[in-house]
Structure 1
């Protein structure tokens, strides 16, 4: 047992070392690892470095107690930790932990780890991200932490006692709450690693701790809080601008237009990040460009000459009519794109089947810093054109999982060990690159289909994905959104009419 200025360390005989570190008077990190030296561990969400904290210490035969101005952490001789407020009222105590060597060869040297906590029988907890669940209170839940379209799972919960707990693992994990024992388990980790946050018993205090730990929320421009107009996609510049004209003619307030997919053309040219669809560049009927016509359109159909003849003209038209423009960009690329070829050269394309299927489209590896540089290099084309905001779609990413995919090695480790940070790294890369651009003061605004702890620091929020249009799904968006924002991400959005109309036979005239 040892005590230092920042915390204390206990190594029970024959067991893992427990390390408690005060990052601030209201934030405590708990690490458990084999041996005497903590392993190197990368956190995608946590950016805070430990502050100098004045601690009162008390050594006893059965452990050590550390007190800050906000909370107390006690480490038993068995390595278990208890948290109390400044008056000694128990907030949370550990139950048990476990660790076993990973069985997958690609994760050799790491462990499957678990940590359990004792919850009061009447305690209420919130969080775990945005899931398609009708419940607000997350007690009694069994949740796989593995993000997908419409489900943003975040390994964080907060209690009505006024504390928050973040399980710092970006890989395949699970949360369970059975018989008042709540547990986090991760398939791959160098150590058990989590953060406990408590200031004064209020959620304001917890959220302040999240912002200190993962970064302040960025300020969005005021137009983002207004009315946005979007549909499954606009198929031409004229269609988008005609809708904008109609809003103005009807004097309905409108702050943002959203251009969804296929402005790049066909699926093989997926996410080229430039306007190649002949509708947008006044090239309908030109054989050189008709090969890029979206796959679901008839190349022999007769189309009128466009009123808006270039993407630059479309952007200017939107701005001249007092609106902003968001555009869809994806985390995967078609084989005809320059990005695909350049990313493939450095081994930064993931060999997964993704959407659209059977087109050779592949996700990129955002954990690779060179890949993030390439992503922004091509996105600069749209940025310089004047696009105001990014809709970063499919940042789970879309993935039709096959046996063995979880063993694939990204730049930072196996897919199973990092996947849930995919959205964070993609959006962080865009945000940081845009902030470095000179000569333009536009704020970075990104709406993404996935997310994780700390997303608020990178000009990004999430929407609830491609939800189905029915009343129960709409009802579920309320607890889904509330459990998402309680994780410290202040803004959230949903398709107010849903996205897929399957339940009503895709009939927009259905009374339902």
Structure 2
């Protein structure tokens, strides 16, 4: 074992040994081994360093230069634990860094690293020649390289995480994943494996993961036109949607209208706002097997292969989104292929590329490939389960805070409340109807039209902002969040303050690029990588907004989206250079540093109130800044609702615990908003919102938002309608579950827990769950099964092995390890509770701090032993960081049916010193329907000391 007393002797020994060798050299420090490799290839590693972080975490760094650059990281916290003791093991061709839990072996010749368990079982190996360096594609700067690292991968391995993609994929094994910040796409280079390891890739540039080949144009396939002639597809650009076969005919091998600059390639005579474009013909492979097609689209898009409809989607024209679909292709026979695109606008987008099969790239390996960095740098995290991997991620990047309790309640928002009166009337209506609500959101454009970035309120529409805020707080007992952009119109006072310091990205100003407001205004974003700029941004929003009493921050366009739909190269030019270096090197890091400035600013200004940030983009480490993320400007459709489920699950597996989606979807099809939906469209709109509200109730943050039609429940449907009744029922259920939900929130901080849990987290031994992307656990107990098809009245679901399952609403029992269809009528989302669960239900409340939970009903689900920790603190401040919180441990022993409410641990100001617990036992042979007001003959008056009771049939009041 190594200690500081031995370090100089060890270094001297290593250097002397290296001098006697013609191969590699290695140097030891107190926490690392650095190897100098014999290769002189400019693209190969010259230096490889293994650094011990914890017993289960090892950092790998590498460079093609003679010396590794100084360590510097935005994502890694500056509060890493002290390194543990470790030992070096050396063989003729390898050196090992060995902790009590983990071994990392590095080849003296190639620098390839293999990770093994303490017992020597292989966990992960870098692929042969897996490390590679090269010149960045668009950057000529000494000491900056493009970087690639490949790893070997078993064919049956499943790979998750990587932020929030919108491709509909859950398991990324075998696929190409583009980690580029974009509206609704969040790049988080943290990977978790079904083999219970994780990799945190410490790089800020655009990164390709998995099959890192760049997708190819369609012309790389053998193409045949509508007449069977080889070479191209037949394209028809028709200006009348009702006559798609009549229009300009082209022979095309590329469909590449991905960005603004590409739209000039579209035939000038094509009326994009009213027309339809089709591509028809055949595709024939150059290699047999499954081909992955990568599409970017907006407007209406349909794709057929051999007459089968594969894609039928829609997105608002100004905000294209990604999609991946698979088509098996053959070298011997061509496949009929057709695309139909209705752009709906003069600025709509479509591109289609593909990747052919390659077993090495898809089955045997996966790769991280980044555009730019000073060195290759990643952290390997080992664990026994995915919770341990997430905990390792947070050890590296920082703890997630306990969110303010009110943030776990319901938020109402729309795009947007145009006046003070609209906002106040909305809160008043919720209170009048006794529908629970904790937060109202003022979205963008509250400022005068020509003063974006001023953070001023337009006095004609918001005559008394302070009075509005006070009324929300004092009369309605709610909180209010404000939208803030990092964007400034040229010439306003806040712009000048940044400009005189050189803290603005100026290229958009030089370009004289106008935005979409009125006749258009010229603007740009501030450089959040500059510490002084971050301080100035906080100073401005503090003076204009926080001082007025706003509770929380909605940080929009934090990719940063300086110009929507610009090409990636153009986007880089618009944020170049940053204070830290080129935009190529730091492209993906903006949301992290932007959130950092607000968090540090508010905590310095007011250390008492918890910071709460909602941001459209994210990056590793953002959880330590009180930040949550929403899934961006998505469309109001059932297929988009379906796609949000794997997006949210992978976001959670990326180590980021707080996520939300626009309930109802953000932008809507014409049938819903011109002027109001009616008939079948109205029925579909109400059902879509009902199903989305049901799902949103059980996501970490519960929030409705979107374009017109308005998303308030009373604007969706009248009282008495099934949509209204269902939405209000699940809203009230969430508030009854607040003791459960807030306890889980506490566990996020104290135990590095994850709220929204893919089944692989809790049932990893059950291989059937690896591909399940539409079911998840909400906390430890509740299995959530969203319904995402129009007019569906049932859905197929899997009950994981290792537990029995109780229908939450009826109490009816179901054995695990079964796939079956379950009822899902209009007003119901199937919810099941795992046997052994203990769920605390609180009183009926209309906001989270309306009254303390003096009476709690404990629903105990028999069949297995169980436990739960009831967590409480002061709700809105950071005193929990100083230990001011309490935990009441609750355990259930199933064989003898005993429930123990243990000694309370801890205390805080305002803590209830006594309370009442009512106990409800639900068993396989004694189903009990959900009723939070159900009476029981077992009532415990709890004063903080342990109480043990035996449960039996006598628990239930016979009158029930």
TM-score (structure 1 length as normaliser): 0.90
SS for the counterpart of 2:126 is strand
Post-superposition Cα deviations, 1:221-249, rounded to whole Å, max 9, x if no partner, equal 11101110101110111110011111111
SS for the counterpart of 1:412 is coil
Q: Distance in 1 between matches of 2:145 and 2:391?
A: 32
Which residue of the other structure, out of 30, 34, 42, is the alignment partner of 2:64? 34
Q: CA deviation at 1:164?
A: 0.8
Q: Distance in 2 between matches of 1:149 and 1:103?
A: 24
Q: Distance in 2 between matches of 1:150 and 1:17?
A: 38
Runs of 4+ in 1 over 6 A off after TM superposition: none
Post-superposition Cα deviations, 1:320-373, rounded to whole Å, max 9, x if no partner, equal 111000010011112253221111112222223585474112111100111111
Q: Is the counterpart of residue 464 in structure 1 residue 494 in structure 2?
A: no
SS for the counterpart of 2:532 is helix
Q: Is the counterpart of residue 379 in structure 1 residue 541 in structure 2?
A: yes
1:369 is matched with: 531
Q: Is the counterpart of residue 313 in structure 1 residue 476 in structure 2?
A: no
Q: How does 1:344-359 map to 2 (within 5 A)?
A: 344-350=499-505, 351-352=507-508, 356=516, 358-359=520-521
Q: How does 1:75-474 map to 2 (within 5 A)?
A: 75-77=106-108, 78-95=110-127, 96-102=130-136, 104-105=138-139, 107-177=141-211, 178-179=361-362, 180-199=364-383, 201-266=384-449, 268-281=450-463, 310-320=464-474, 321-350=476-505, 351-352=507-508, 356=516, 358-381=520-543, 382-400=545-563, 401=566, 403=569, 405-407=571-573, 408-438=576-606, 441-474=608-641
Label 1:113 to 1:223 Cα distance change in 2 as closer, same or farther (>3 A): same
Contact 1:130–1:484 (8 Å) recurs in 2: yes
Q: Distance in 1 between matches of 2:89 and 2:205?
A: 37
Q: CA deviation at 1:8?
A: 1.4
Which residue of the other structure, out of 32, 56, 62, is the alignment partner of 1:7? 32
Q: Distance in 2 between matches of 1:17 and 1:354?
A: 48
Q: Is the counterpart of residue 495 in structure 1 residue 659 in structure 2?
A: no
Which stretch shifts more, 13-22 or 496-505?
496-505
Which stretch shifts more, 466-475 or 329-338?
329-338
Contact 1:130–1:481 (8 Å) recurs in 2: yes
Post-superposition Cα deviations, 1:117-162, rounded to whole Å, max 9, x if no partner, equal 0111111111111011222111122122210000002111101111
Which residue of the other structure, out of 45, 61, 84, is the alignment partner of 2:75? 45
Q: Distance in 1 between matches of 2:207 and 2:605?
A: 37
Which residue of the other structure, out of 81, 96, 104, is the alignment partner of 1:65? 96
Contact 2:158–2:193 (8 Å) recurs in 1: yes
Q: Distance in 2 between matches of 1:318 and 1:214?
A: 36
Q: Distance in 2 between matches of 1:411 and 1:263?
A: 31
SS for the counterpart of 1:228 is strand
Q: Distance in 2 between matches of 1:337 and 1:143?
A: 40
Q: Which has the higher contact order (CA 8 A, sep 6+)?
A: 1
Q: CA deviation at 1:55?
A: 1.0
Post-superposition Cα deviations, 1:279-305, rounded to whole Å, max 9, x if no partner, equal 112xxxxxxxxxxxxxxxxxxxxxxxx
2:254 is matched with: none
Contact 2:200–2:393 (8 Å) recurs in 1: no
Label 1:108 to 1:2 Cα distance change in 2 as closer, same or farther (>3 A): closer
List alignment gaps of at least 5 residues for structure 1: 282-309
Q: Distance in 2 between matches of 1:342 and 1:444?
A: 25
Q: Distance in 2 between matches of 1:468 and 1:131?
A: 15
Contact 1:156–1:164 (8 Å) recurs in 2: yes
Q: CA deviation at 1:489?
A: 1.0
Q: How many residue pairs get matched? A: 481
Q: Distance in 2 between matches of 1:143 and 1:53?
A: 35
Q: Distance in 2 between matches of 1:464 and 1:413?
A: 29
Which stretch shifts more, 137-146 or 235-244?
137-146
Q: Distance in 2 between matches of 1:17 and 1:162?
A: 28
Which stretch shifts more, 243-252 or 139-148?
139-148
Post-superposition Cα deviations, 1:50-98, rounded to whole Å, max 9, x if no partner, equal 6232113210111111211221111112100011122222111101111
Q: Distance in 1 between matches of 2:378 and 2:515?
A: 34
The alignment's C-alpha RMSD in Å is 1.8
Which stretch shifts more, 120-129 or 52-61?
52-61
Label 1:190 to 1:246 Cα distance change in 2 as closer, same or farther (>3 A): same
Contact 1:354–1:362 (8 Å) recurs in 2: no
Contact 1:269–1:336 (8 Å) recurs in 2: no
Q: Distance in 2 between matches of 1:406 and 1:466?
A: 22
Label 1:340 to 1:64 Cα distance change in 2 as closer, same or farther (>3 A): same
Q: CA deviation at 1:277?
A: 4.5
Post-superposition Cα deviations, 1:414-445, rounded to whole Å, max 9, x if no partner, equal 1111121100100111001111114x622110
Label 1:152 to 1:354 Cα distance change in 2 as closer, same or farther (>3 A): farther
Q: CA deviation at 1:220?
A: 0.9
2:85 is matched with: 54
Label 1:405 to 1:217 Cα distance change in 2 as closer, same or farther (>3 A): closer
SS for the counterpart of 1:107 is coil
List alignment gaps of at least 5 residues for structure 2: 1-25, 40-44, 212-360, 685-960
Label 1:343 to 1:11 Cα distance change in 2 as closer, same or farther (>3 A): same
Label 1:133 to 1:224 Cα distance change in 2 as closer, same or farther (>3 A): same
SS for the counterpart of 1:410 is coil
Q: Distance in 1 between matches of 2:68 and 2:622?
A: 27
1:294 is matched with: none
Which stretch shifts more, 489-498 or 399-408?
399-408
